[in-house]
Amino acid sequence: MYKVKTVFECQSCGASSPKWLGKCPDCGAWNSFVEEKQERVKAIKKDTSSAPQSLASVTLENEDRLSTGIEELNRVLGGGIVSGSLILIGGDPGIGKSTLVLQMLSSLFAENPELKNPALYVSGEESLKQIKLRANRLNISGQQPIHVLSETCMENIFDHVKRMKPSVIVIDSIQTVFTQEIPSAPGSVGQVRECALKLMLFAKGTDTPIFLVGHVTKEGAIAGPRVLEHIVDTVLYFEGDRGHAYRILRAVKNRFGSTNEIGVFEMRDGGLAEITNPSELFLSERPQNVSGTTVVATVEGTRPIMVELQALVSQSTFGVPRRTTIGVDVNRVNLLIAVLEKTGGLHMGGMDTFLNVVGGLRITEPAFDLGIVTTIASSFRELPIREHVFVFGEVGLSGELRGVSHAEARIKEGAKIGFREAILPESNLGRLNANIKPEIKLIGVKDISEAIKAALDI
């Protein structure tokens, strides 16, 4: 018999301590230490068949990706599912994670008829009848080769997997499963880490793609240790506001494709519907001839999207003006307001400023700066920006406009939607392809003063 050691582990980063601590010294999280038992097991040396080999002797095989049948999901994954990949999908409760993976399994076999073995959907939170009710709501036929299992013990799950040899495995969710090799409770740091590691070794050893559904904390991060995100190959976040029907699937890590790609969905009665042209969707309810609204051309990954940005500037009734933003960084907005006061001639010291990105998107790229500046100036001066104008550009601290990437893609997207004028940095104007210039009128500006004059016709 070996002694059972009791330690306290941080549920955020996995740091351990012999005694309870109120604040984690590694990640700074408060009240995150939980008591866990660790059984000391004698290490056993195992024989291994692998041996080091030179890099030149490693051969590559061109393997086709499995299409999920959902183009927006394929885009985020980098073209489809790679064999043996471990994919983590996180999101708020009720955002549609289980709906997405169930729809994916339904369309997977129609797109890949070469798959002979069925898919296995393992649920640790729902009963088989609850899964069936969701499948009926999504109009998923019972003839689909999808097997469901309500189980939380990892050893039992692997027993079924070895008998079935499924083509794809879904674990919903990773926080509910546990292994009997660790005495701690399901969802703890040790259990999540050990279960994810076992699934990773199985995926790599059998070339079976595995999807993990993960819970998120109130801060929006994947629940459990950060090592979970390091183990998996791809991390997808399912974002959205319950007040909106739109859902954004964002890739923040992808070993087999580009990051920062997004997929846009709409939650309907029959499940998630793809939005192939999100620009028209986000601009469908845009008001006309109203001050404080601007259309900005932004790029998410490789996709240009036209987004409406709204601002409200009003006289403050308090000593310190309020700065409230939804969808953009408030610190970036404060910086641009200071630039407007210094070089744009707008006295914002006693004005409350509120900004909102319509549609629930969150924009972080610097090309959104010019949209923030022109929108605030429009609301401050109560002058509307012309209806068929969109903007993009990065603003420097001295008020100058700096060039941004993907300028041609932004202009083509605006012309496709129906815009006739674009305000952009002058440095981008000189590097554009001559073939796109006749499609739309391009106005190059050097600083924010010229941009505000061009946008507001003053």
Q: Annotation-wise, does 95 bind a ligand?
A: yes
Q: Annotation-wise, does 224 bind a ligand?
A: no
Q: Annotation-wise, does 371 bind a ligand?
A: no
Q: Annotation-wise, does 91 bind a ligand?
A: yes
Q: Annotation-wise, does 94 bind a ligand?
A: yes
Q: Annotation-wise, does 438 bind a ligand?
A: no
Cβ burial, residue 420 (10 Å; 0-12/13-18/19+): middle
Q: Annotation-wise, does 440 bind a ligand?
A: no
Q: Annotation-wise, does 145 bind a ligand?
A: no
Which residues contribute to the annotated binding site for ATP?
91-98
Which residues contribute to the annotated binding site?
91-98
